């Protein structure tokens, strides 16, 4: 296990969504880590050899093994590292924390990328940072690397992932809605599920820590409209479970309900449409979600597996807990889309070797 003299190495950029999520997790669990900026292309080749894909972050264990995928890495550390962890024992809270983590990872990625890369202010900051950090070793002028980076990210993750001019207002309204909901929660409770951080908070550190609370445009919105959310970002970063005396609520707080309703209205229907597009072997698909049109959204094999995982978490519960949870999921419109598709187009043994080997990246964007 990692120690101060043999920490895990966290390979990732210090402005990366999922790297920031892992940093928050390691800090909250007091797991010693050392952040290392990856340099392209040597790191990419090494990572592909070690775990099958190139994405951020990768974790290198003191025994030399490499890992990928924040969700499964966290589950692995939760089993391996003794002491109180981030996954609540209560079956309903546990399922909800897994669902919120998944939503934070997969749904809020697109708006986070939008705010960073759509606005010149964000694109200038992030392209300079990445051109000099991750692409620092490429023998090209910085301006050329910045231009390449802006083009890659827009064509991969914003305009090229369904956010057309007619989607922008709706995508941003969705973020404002989330901020309103979270502001309501964090103005009277320190963490999502009580007085103690859970996997749900760690999940939300993905979109917030290195994106909404860092990029110039959303950061100003947070300062003005959601100061309690900004405070939560720093509180999570500065909390250690080993010295946290707060507890999770014994029941799911009522103010989590509107978040679940949004998951039922847009996220789970999106996962179903994505799975149908994968089954039909499409690279892209069009869809309207919560009144927002997305044209040419990229299909994701990885997100088919995410939907399968959510179903699996439910199936593993005992009958009484399944019944309680079913009522809650029905109440918020999550039950029907969770089970809408009779079969999911997973490839054989897809992602079974995680966290030590991955089959698919979240989105197949070209290197
Ligand atoms: N499911 C992965 C997602 C990791 C991921 O997609 N990371 C982004 C950066 S924050 C990335 O590396 N994207 C690949 C690319 O842009 O080529 C996880 O949870 O770690």
Tell me the domain boundaries of the chain.
Answer: 8-80
pLDDT at 98: 98
C-alpha to C-alpha distance for 333 and 263, rounded to whole angstroms: 8
User: Across all residues in the chain, what is the average pLDDT?
Assistant: 97
Nearest to 74 by CA among 110, 25, 17: 25
Ligand 1 atom 11 nearest Cα: 55
Ligand 1 atom 2 nearest Cα: 69
- Residue 119 buriedness (CB in 10 A; 0-12 / 13-18 / 19+): middle
C-alpha to C-alpha distance for 28 and 48, rounded to whole angstroms: 29
**40 compared with 365, residue with greater pLDDT:** 40
What is 296-319 written as a DSSP string?
Answer: EEEP-HHHHHHHHHHHHHHHTS-H
Cβ–ligand 1 contact at 93 (below 6 Å): no
The answer to whether 113 and 160 have CB atoms below 8 angstroms apart is no
Rounded to the nearest whole angstrom, what is the distance from the C-alpha of residue 202 to the centroid of ligand 1? 16
Rounded to the nearest whole angstrom, what is the distance from the C-alpha of residue 185 to the centroid of ligand 1? 28
Cβ–ligand 1 contact at 16 (below 6 Å): yes
Q: Compute the residue count for the chain.
A: 367
pLDDT at 74: 98
Candidates 206, 362, 365: which one to mutate for ligand 1, based on the most atoms within 8 Å of Cβ? Answer: 362
Q: Write the pLDDT tens digit of every residue in 93-151.
A: 999 999 999 999 999 999 999 999 999 999 999 999 999 999 999 999 999 999 999 99
Whether residue 367 is predicted with pLDDT greater than 90 in this model: the reply is no
Q: Which long-range contacts (CB under 8 A, 24 or more apart) does 151-158 make?
A: 152/365, 152/366, 153/113, 153/116, 153/117, 153/123, 153/126, 154/117, 154/118, 156/298, 156/363, 156/365, 156/366, 157/109, 157/110, 157/113, 157/117, 157/363, 157/365, 158/110, 158/113, 158/114, 158/117, 158/118
Ligand 1 atom 8 nearest Cα: 56
Whether residue 247 is predicted with pLDDT greater than 90 in this model: the reply is yes
- Strands 8-11 and 284-289, by their bridges, are unpaired
Whether residue 1 is predicted with pLDDT greater than 90 in this model: the reply is no
Confidence of residue 25 (pLDDT cuts 50, 70, 90): very high
Nearest to 266 by CA among 347, 124, 170: 170
Rounded to the nearest whole angstrom, what is the distance from the C-alpha of residue 56 to the centroid of ligand 1? 5
Ligand 1 atom 15 nearest Cα: 55
Whether residue 258 is predicted with pLDDT greater than 70 in this model: the reply is yes
CB atoms within 10 A of CB 28: 24
Whether residue 206 is predicted with pLDDT greater than 70 in this model: the reply is yes
- Tokens 């969770």, residue? 338
Mean pLDDT of the region 35-47: 95
C-alpha to C-alpha distance for 342 and 312, rounded to whole angstroms: 14
Q: Which CATH number fits domain 8-80: 3.40.50.10490, 3.40.30.10, 3.30.2350.10, 3.30.930.10?
A: 3.40.30.10
Mean pLDDT of the region 52-78: 98
C-alpha to C-alpha distance for 145 and 156, rounded to whole angstroms: 16
Cβ–ligand 1 contact at 18 (below 6 Å): yes
Rounded to the nearest whole angstrom, what is the distance from the C-alpha of residue 319 to the centroid of ligand 1? 36
Candidates 15, 16, 18: which one to mutate for ligand 1, based on the most atoms within 8 Å of Cβ? Answer: 18
Whether residue 322 is predicted with pLDDT greater than 90 in this model: the reply is yes
Confidence of residue 336 (pLDDT cuts 50, 70, 90): very high
Rounded to the nearest whole angstrom, what is the distance from the C-alpha of residue 363 to the centroid of ligand 1? 8
pLDDT at 318: 98
The answer to whether 117 and 158 have CB atoms below 8 angstroms apart is yes
Cβ–ligand 1 contact at 338 (below 6 Å): no
| Residues in Cβ contact with 105 at an 8 Å cutoff, skipping those fewer than 6 apart | 18, 21, 70, 71, 203, 206, 306
Rounded to the nearest whole angstrom, what is the distance from the C-alpha of residue 40 to the centroid of ligand 1? 15
């Amino acid at each position: 296990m990692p120690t101060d003299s043999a920490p895990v190495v966290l390979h990732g950029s210090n402005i990366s969504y999922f790297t920031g999520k892992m940093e928050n997790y390691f800090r909250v669990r007091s797991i010693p880590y050392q952040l290392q900026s990856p340099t392209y292309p040597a790191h990419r080749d090494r990572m592909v050899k070690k775990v099958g894909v190139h994405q951020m972050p990768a974790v290198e264990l003191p025994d030399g093994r490499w890992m990928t995928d924040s969700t499964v890495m966290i589950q692995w550390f939760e089993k391996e590292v003794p002491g109180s962890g981030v996954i609540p024992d209560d079956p309903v809270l546990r399922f909800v924390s897994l669902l919120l983590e998944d939503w934070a990872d997969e749904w809020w990625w697109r708006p986070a990328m939008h705010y960073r890369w759509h606005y010149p202010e964000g694109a200038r900051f992030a392209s300079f940072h990445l051109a000099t950090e991750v692409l620092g070793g490429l023998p090209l002028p910085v301006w050329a690397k910045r231009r390449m980076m802006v083009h890659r990210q827009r064509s991969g993750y914003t305009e090229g992932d369904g956010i057309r001019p007619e989607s922008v207002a709706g995508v941003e309204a969705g973020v404002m809605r989330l901020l309103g909901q979270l502001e309501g929660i964090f103005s009277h409770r320190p963490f999502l599920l009580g007085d103690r951080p859970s996997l749900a908070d760690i999940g939300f550190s993905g979109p917030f820590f290195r994106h909404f609370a860092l990029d110039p445009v959303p950061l100003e919105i947070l300062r003005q409209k959601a100061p309690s959310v900004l405070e939560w970002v720093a509180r999570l970063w500065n909390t250690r479970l080993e010295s946290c005396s707060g507890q999770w609520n014994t029941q799911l707080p009522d103010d989590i309900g509107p978040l679940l309703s949004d998951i039922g209205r847009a996220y789970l229907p999106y996962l179903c449409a994505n799975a149908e597009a994968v089954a039909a072997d499409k690279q892209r698909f069009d869809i309207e979600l919560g009144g927002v049109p997305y044209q040419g959204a990229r299909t994701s094999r990885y997100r088919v597996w995410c939907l399968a995982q959510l179903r699996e978490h439910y199936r593993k519960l005992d009958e009484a807990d399944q019944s309680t949870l079913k009522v809650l999921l029905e109440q918020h419109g999550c039950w029907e889309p969770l089970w809408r598709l009779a079969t999911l187009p997973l490839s054989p043994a897809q992602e079974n070797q995680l966290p030590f080997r991955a089959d698919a990246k979240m989105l197949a964007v070209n290197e």
